[in-house]
Structure 1
Amino acid sequence: MGENIHIHYRDLRIELSVPEFLEFAEAFERCAPAVKNKIGQGYMDGVLPNTNESNTLTTIALDAPLKHPVKYNANRVSIEENLDGYHIHFRNYKLLFDKRSFDNILQAMNDVVERRGSQRSLDEVLHLIGYNDLEYRLIETNRNASPNTALVEIENKYLGKIKQMFKALTFTSAEDAGVHIFKGSDMEIRVRIGSNKNSGAAISIPAAPFVLLADYLTAMKSAITPKEINLLRLQVLDAFGMVRSGENPYINLDFRSFLLDRANQRVIFQNSTSRYNGDSNQDYAKFSNFLHNIGLFFVKPLKTLFDEQECDTINATFNKYILENVATHPCVNKIYLLGSSTKNNLGKYEVPFIHFDWAKLASDFDILLEIDESHPIPEHWEKKFFTDYSGSYYYHLGDVPHQVASPYTAQYSHIKYFNHLIEAYLFFPSNCNAEVKDKYLSGIKAELIYEKGALPPQKKKRKIG
């Protein structure tokens, strides 16, 4: 209380005269017990988002119009730059923004001004449905007819909100045999009610410049190229890196919010007004699970093979690395070279190969170690998970120090890249399955390249130690 009465709530300040404040306080005092009673009965916020149905809303009180008019700055609009940020004054409200938030507000206002009164396309309207957090399934579209038409399916709980959205777009509405019909300028969108348990199961996507990345990947899962999917995943992984490094902690890491600029295959990440405070590992795992469910989790890009001389150099570097950094540890009894790593088919990927959150620039090396459990394993070996097919635990042991040039490492610099990742299966006799391990080694024609205490045979080219 000073010049007048101020209510400060987060970044909002409201100036009130004495009569306005007393009216506000009386309404609050009258409503608070009823609201607390609802909470006591088990009310929880966030359970029914974007439904806006009459049976999900409770109006505690409705005081309209208020008895006392706005006293301070009833017709004021001003924008100020101050030491604590930017102030936007509107009537008796003041909103405080930091520079990032203020720039976002300006851009949003500019977009509204530029688009005011302009014709909207069918695809833009469809995009607005998803942008308003209304989960929907796009059943069909027809852009060759006049008017353009679309049929979408939503859950019944979203019907109230979608009606409000189309009303705000000045669409007319009607209902025919349970299908809600919304008509705009040269377009007609029909909305039917369904379970919509799999909102990503759209059979087609809008042709708008910006579409939801999840919708695009779901619709294009059978046609997308290995290069395209890995470049899209590279951008997503880089965004997670920006948040984790603190360079841009405002990115929304919910993959369902990611947009795609189809013209140049650029993923667009939306910024929040507050810093990210979620679990980035969990959010990335959700994106990985989504890719797994649509069959796009493990897609290798094309690989250009190195010539024989380059392969010999890489193999020699690998052997040296294993001898000096793996075989020297007393916990290692045996080392097997696995599968394709036993052949000279090393090469460089045309784009980084994204698997989990690993970015591989070129062929990796796969090995299996039999462990002597009387000695500890090195702490810097990274345990990932157990693999049933090998009966062993999967680890990362490092990167072969043979540099692989790639233009993407500078463009997407918030990612840890591997030149030739050393992937290892660690077999611990006490808790791993020897029968499964032996069958796995036999099936992939693994090659024993090191055995503790054994003299190094000279006949086999790859033997080390």
Structure 2
Amino acid sequence: MGVIKKVLVSRKMPDRELHNGRLFVDLSENVHIHFRELRTIYSVPEFFEYANIISRSAKYLKRYLRLHPGYKEQQHFENEMVALGPEQQTTPLRKSPKPHKSTYFDDRLQIELQGEKVIDEIHVHYRDYRFVMNQETFRMWAGAMNEALENMDDFLENNTYERIEHPFRKEVVKDTYYESRNWAKPGKTEIPVKRRIRAMLLYVGGHGLVSFARRCKRAFK
């Protein structure tokens, strides 16, 4: 989410190619996560840090959804800090050369036409991200970027735009008190006790523990 000041360009993209419908991880000269047409690069320590945060976040998110069954996608637009949000937003990455510098390709911008045998004809490398596409999609993408640049220059020439100081432009510093200040106190939220217990069991042991607890409850009735 953001606060849009000006839509610089908008295009309707063609369908993805069929092979861009996968999510997998491979280990080559470094660790790659492939998700549709995006590949991200990690050192081994960076990958394990990333995977640990995602794993813990998934548990927290499941617990939150268990406590708030009324949540609907595309209906709630308030940015609720769940799934480690309060903690991770103010926690610098620890397994990189610097929190804002990745181990590999930290400053690379490179666009490549691949050989005929490569299924993804165009590779766009932006730092340690790689976007892949065919030639037709690349022409559309490049044209949109050129148009967006022209529109941005025109807008800035005729309108005021002053950057506002933001605390995250500076070095991210661990804030150990953020979560306690911003999360609702348990006693003040209208969440039934049974739902709290189910959420706790889900967080501790996953769906298996929740099912086991239900079976035990039925057995003792």
- TM-score range, shorter-chain basis? 0.3 to 0.5
TM-score, normalised with respect to structure 1 = 0.24
Structure number with greater CO (CA < 8 Å, separation at least 6) is 2
Q: Whose helix fraction is larger, Structure 1's or Structure 2's?
A: 2
Which structure is larger by alpha-carbon Rg, 1 or 2?
1
**Where is the strand percentage greater, Structure 1 or Structure 2?**
1
